[in-house]
Structure 1
């Protein structure tokens, strides 16, 4: 019988793509999502459409903090991919209690449910934000500093929980530190999506800092492939929670990102400079040596192609009229 995996946050950005990859790999997938109102429900429902067409996929609208819902669907599962979370570094500032309740409380609930159901395989979505002001390239062996935002703090606590449960309950967990994931289905609050919308409206694009900040941008298809590779890694080996950087190993300046997006959109947007946000890191860049060696994973999509794919998705979802108006 084909094995079953439970994916939390299945209607989300990375989650919906990960479910597609897992289905293609032969898994039966139960997807959980509570349609958190952090962005429009219709976007999440749109992401679910291709999944619902598969007889190997079943969707459950539920909150990961709901014990009954978790217990009912983890029973008999081979593994859990825990992607559900409230995202956003800047958005988390001033909302620490909510982020801790959802991200830390939700992770604790999922781990407790794994123990009750006897599930020993876990993939947990962490973030490059846990590195804070560590000098790039970031390596998994780096000592993590104090978190600079409630979001980063919640991800650090989630990692700690994974390590604790792995040690006590003999779980084998892959902790994926995602670096600035982008692409089709991206959340409206994320940079490319926000910039595309503003460009379509003819509004100026707010750029934090002087444009020299750098991010390691990871295409969502590559991030989803990393989830599948990590899940395969959990099948055999000793208990423990091991971190893996999921990025490209290349930093891209913000002003270059905006230029590539403008070129793909065929626009010449006005830029509105703003003071750098104190919660943001000036530069991020992953050392992905460990993910390559241990997981057998490597990114395949370069930034230019990834932005083109994002713009194609944006045009389909929002219509060509909005882009033409710009």
Structure 2
């Protein structure tokens, strides 16, 4: 049964008047391949660092951020305008999210600026720049928790420890919905993406460090949390396909397996060649699992098992 506390109705793109989109052929051609012009927000994050080199193989990619390697320097936590952005662009990919997402309420304004207000500015720019497709990564956290896998029609309930962060992402989805008359808008809801280059304070890297250091993994109940973690390359392939979708839609991005925290810890122990220690608590185990039926049908069927993915992540640390 779904949690019913303060549920929000599911966002829907139905009923919007369709508008014919401009048909750009890209900025130039190379060896007969039509190149596209992409604008990428959040290129320095986990997904962005894996997506960028793939897009650059056959396209022109302008990156937006405050890191030195960004094509266009913009601080998404502050006021900014689109004066330095390209006059015309084919597609926008908004992967940016605030690194202060756990720091509530102290950094509430900063989180809102990056996750919602800057997204609005990006959409307004996209409308004026003639963008055909806008891909926005929200989060699987907008659903809350449930005994059953979440599909894209489920009600949204961004509560809990990271409820404010998820609420700003849900606000972003509402913003996105209102721009569907002007462009194709693909909202992606990723579930527990992991892989090489990920920040050490995220779930899978934290678990790896605990096992490596001989620290116990705490489990609510016998097996703990159940999730379907997504290897970063599967997420990247889904985003690539989303750029070609000729409609507006919402799609979960999840991994191919539903695993308990206990089983995840065991896989990590096997990859590290270390014994895993568990500590059971009296808490109620949660399930945060996204249905991948729509992802597999419309975008990309995830292929990397957790045992494969965690080995590649651990090998990247050596």
TM-score by length of 2: 0.80
Quote the residue 1:305 is aligned against.
308
Alignment partner of 1:34 out of 46, 56, 66: 66
Q: 1:208 to 1:143 in 2, by over 3 A?
A: same
Deviation of 1:108 after TM superposition, in Å, equals 1.2
Deviation of 1:22 after TM superposition, in Å, equals 1.8
The root-mean-square deviation of aligned C-alpha atoms, in Å, is: 2.5
Provide Cα deviations, 1:204-246, integer angstroms capped at 9, x if missing partner.
245252342101111000001111000111xx34xxx410011
Structure 2 counterparts to residues 277-316 of structure 1, below 5 A? 282-295=286-299, 297-315=300-318
Alignment partner of 1:67 out of 80, 91, 99: 80
Contact 1:137 1:249 in 2 (8 A): no
Quote the residue 1:229 is aligned against.
241
Distance 1:85 1:67 in 2: 16
The structure richer in helix per residue is 1
Provide Cα deviations, 1:24-44, integer angstroms capped at 9, x if missing partner.
4x2211122224xxxxxxxxx
Quote the residue 2:115 is aligned against.
103
Secondary structure, counterpart of 1:67 in structure 2: coil
Distance 1:267 1:17 in 2: 29
Quote the residue 1:259 is aligned against.
266
Deviation of 1:161 after TM superposition, in Å, equals 0.5
Distance 1:63 1:118 in 2: 23
Distance 1:87 1:276 in 2: 28
Structure 2 counterparts to residues 119-138 of structure 1, below 5 A? 119-138=131-150
Contact 1:87 1:151 in 2 (8 A): no
Distance 1:77 1:186 in 2: 29
TM-score by length of 1: 0.78
Quote the residue 1:158 is aligned against.
172
Distance 2:205 2:174 in 1: 32
Structure 2 counterparts to residues 1-326 of structure 1, below 5 A? 1=28, 2-24=35-57, 26-35=58-67, 59-64=71-76, 67-68=80-81, 70-86=82-98, 91-94=102-105, 95-148=107-160, 149-167=163-181, 170-200=182-212, 202=213, 204-207=215-218, 209-210=220-221, 211-233=223-245, 236-237=246-247, 241-271=248-278, 282-295=286-299, 297-315=300-318
Contact 1:175 1:244 in 2 (8 A): yes
Distance 1:185 1:310 in 2: 8
Contact 1:207 1:271 in 2 (8 A): yes
Contact 1:92 1:151 in 2 (8 A): no
Secondary structure, counterpart of 1:123 in structure 2: strand
Which sections of structure 2, spanning at least 5 residues, go unmatched?
A: 1-27, 29-34
Q: Which consecutive segments of 4 or more residues in structure 1 shift more than 6 A? A: none
